[in-house]
C-alpha cells in the first residue's frame, strides 16, 4: 500500500458507496451548476489521490470534451435557436450544442471518477465487498489474481527454454513464430491445469466445501467509517429530496429552461451535493496537513 491516502484507508464499503454515489449522481444531474461541481470535485479528488500524475490526463480530457461537445449537435438537429445551417439545410442549434456541453461534462467527470476508482478499489477490496454475497465468485477472483503473475513468469520461462534449444523460430518466418506462440500457450495450459489439481487438493484439505464458510478480512468497520457513512447517506438524502422537489429540473430541448438558485431547493441541494463530492478530498487534505504539522514539530 504505497502512498495510501486517508480516504483509501477507510473501509472498502465506504470507498465503494462513495464511488457509486458520485458516478451515478454525475450522470443523473444535468443542471449546469451540478455539472461544474462534479467536474471540479472529480479533478480535485483525482489530484489528491494520484498527485501530479493526474495532470498528465488533462490534455486527453480536453480533447474528449471537445469531441463529445461537437458530436452531439452534429448528430442531433433538434432545438429552436439555429446557429447556422450546413449541408443543405442541416441545422446546428444552440440547444443541441448546450446538450453537447452537458454530455461532455458528464463524460469527463465520469472518466475522472473512474481514474480515482482504479487507484483506490483494488481487487481485494472488491472481494471484501462481494465476498459475503458471492463467495464462489470472490474466491475465483482471488485465485485469478494469484495465478496471473505466476503464468506470466512461467510463459517467459517457457519462451526462454525454447529459445535455448533453438525452437524459438526467431529467424524463421511468421508461421514458425505463430507455431512457437501456440507451443508456449499449450505448454502453459498443461502446466497451469496440472498445478490446479494440487490447488484444489489443498483447498479441500483445508476444509473447503465441508460446510458453512465465513469471510475473514483485514478491513475493519470502525467509528470513523460509521460516521462517514452516515454523513454520506445524509447528504445524498438531502440531494435526492431536493432533486425530487425540482432542484435539478432542466430542459435543454427544444428550449433551454433552468431552475436557478432563487429556488431554495436548488440552493440547498447544490450545497449538499458539493459537500458530498468533496468529502474524500477534504479528508485527504486534512490528513496531509496534519502530517506536515507533525513533521515540522520534530
Partner 1 sequence: MSKKSLITILTTLILAPALIVLTWKFNIHYYITGTLMVILCMIPFFISFEDRKPEARELVVIAVLVALSVASRAAFIAVPMFKPVIGMIMIAGFAFGSQAGFLTGAMTALISNFIFGQGAWTPWQMFSWGLSGLIAGFLSKKGLVTGNGRVKEAISGFLIVLLVVGPALDTSSVLTMLAKPTLKSAWPFYVSGFPANISLAICTVLTLVFLSKPMLEKLNRIKLKYGMME
Partner 2 sequence: MAHFEIKNLNFSYPTMPDKLALEDINLSIEKGEYVTVFGKSGSGKTTLLKHLKSVLTPHGTTSGEVYFDNKLLSSIDLRDQSSKIGYVMQNPDNQIVTDKVWHELAFGLESLGYDQKTIRLRVAEMASYFGIQGWFNKNVSELSGGQKQLLNLASIMAMQPEVLILDEPTSQLDPIAASDFLNTVRKINLELRTTIIITEHRLEDVLYASDKVVVMDKGKIIACDEPRKIGEYLKKENNEMFSAMPTPVQVYYGVEDKFDKNIECPLTVREGGDFLSTIFEGKDIKEKEIDIPEVRLDEGMNPAIMVKEVWYRYDKNSPDILCGTSFMVPHGKLFAIVGGNGTGKSTMLKSICNICKPYRGEILLDGKRLTKYKDSELFKNYLAMMPQDPQSLFVKKTVKEDLLEMLRGSDADKENKIREIADLCEITDLLDSHPFDLSGGEQQRVGLAKVLLTNPKIILLDEPTKGIDSFFKIKFAEILKKLNEKGVTIVMVSHDVEFCARYADICAMFFNGTVITTNTPNKFFSMNSFYTTAANRMSRHIFSNAINCEDVINLCQKNL
In three-state secondary structure terms, 178 is helix
Interacting stretch for partner 1, rule CB under 8 A, among 6-14, 32-40, 129-137, 258-266? Answer: 129-137
Residue 271's nearest CA partner among 33, 90, 95 is: 33
Q: Is 143 in the site for partner 1 (CB under 8 A)?
A: yes
Q: Is 267 in the site for partner 1 (CB under 8 A)?
A: no
Look-up: residue for cell 520534530? 298
103 binds, among partner 1, partner 2, none (CB under 5 to 8 A by kind): partner 1
**Which residues lie across from 92 on neighbouring strands?**
84
Q: Is 94 in the site for partner 1 (CB under 8 A)?
A: no
CA angle 4/20/31 to nearest 5° reads 115
CA 192/CA 187 separation, integer angstroms? 8
Q: Is 97 in the site for partner 1 (CB under 8 A)?
A: no
CA 49/CA 57 separation, integer angstroms? 14
Residue 41's nearest CA partner among 209, 198, 235 is: 235
| Contact (Cβ atoms closer than 8 angstroms) between residue 89 and residue 246 | no
Tell me which residues touch partner 2 (CB under 8 A): 1, 123-124, 139, 142-143, 145-146, 149-150, 154, 157-158, 160-168, 170-171, 183, 186-187, 190-191, 194-196, 198-199, 201-218
Contact residues toward partner 1 (CB under 8 A) are: 24, 27-28, 30, 68, 71-72, 75-76, 99, 102-103, 106-107, 110-111, 114-115, 117-118, 121-123, 126, 134-137, 139-141, 143-145, 147-148, 151-152, 155, 178, 182, 185-186, 188-190, 192-193, 196-197, 199-201, 203-204, 208-209, 252-253
Amino acid at each position: 500500500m504505497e502512498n495510501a491516502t486517508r480516504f483509501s484507508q477507510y473501509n472498502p464499503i465506504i470507498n465503494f458507496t462513495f464511488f457509486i454515489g458520485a458516478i451515478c449522481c454525475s450522470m443523473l444531474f444535468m443542471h449546469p451548476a451540478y455539472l461544474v461541481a462534479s467536474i471540479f470535485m472529480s479533478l480535485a479528488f483525482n489530484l489528491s489521490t494520484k498527485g501530479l500524475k493526474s495532470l498528465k490526463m488533462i490534455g486527453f480530457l480536453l480533447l474528449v470534451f471537445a469531441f463529445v461537445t461537437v458530436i452531439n449537435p452534429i448528430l442531433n438537429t433538434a432545438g429552436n435557436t439555429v446557429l447556422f445551417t450546413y449541408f443543405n439545410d442541416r441545422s446546428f442549434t444552440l440547444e443541441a450544442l448546450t446538450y453537447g456541453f452537458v454530455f461532455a461534462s458528464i463524460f469527463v467527470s465520469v472518466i475522472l471518477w473512474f481514474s480515482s476508482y482504479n487507484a483506490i478499489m483494488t481487487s481485494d477490496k472488491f472481494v471484501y465487498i462481494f465476498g459475503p454475497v458471492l463467495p464462489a465468485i470472490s474466491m475465483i477472483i482471488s485465485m485469478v489474481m494469484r495465478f496471473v503473475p505466476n503464468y506470466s513468469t512461467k510463459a517467459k520461462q517457457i519462451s526462454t527454454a525454447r529459445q535455448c534449444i533453438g525452437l524459438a523460430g526467431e529467424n524463421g518466418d511468421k508461421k514458425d513464430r505463430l507455431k512457437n506462440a501456440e507451443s508456449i500457450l499449450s505448454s502453459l495450459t498443461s502446466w497451469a491445469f496440472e498445478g490446479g489439481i494440487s490447488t484444489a487438493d489443498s483447498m479441500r484439505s483445508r476444509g473447503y466445501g465441508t460446510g458453512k464458510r465465513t469471510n475473514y478480512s483485514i478491513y475493519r468497520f470502525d467509528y470513523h467509517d460509521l460516521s462517514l457513512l452516515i454523513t454520506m447517506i445524509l447528504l445524498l438524502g438531502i440531494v435526492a429530496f431536493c432533486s425530487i422537489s425540482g432542484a435539478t429540473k432542466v430542459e435543454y430541448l427544444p428550449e433551454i429552461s433552468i431552475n436557478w438558485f432563487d429556488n431554495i431547493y436548488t440552493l440547498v441541494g447544490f450545497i449538499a451535493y458539493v459537500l458530498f463530492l468533496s468529502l474524500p478530498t477534504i479528508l485527504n487534505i486534512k490528513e496531509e496537513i496534519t502530517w506536515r504539522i507533525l513533521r515540522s514539530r520534530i
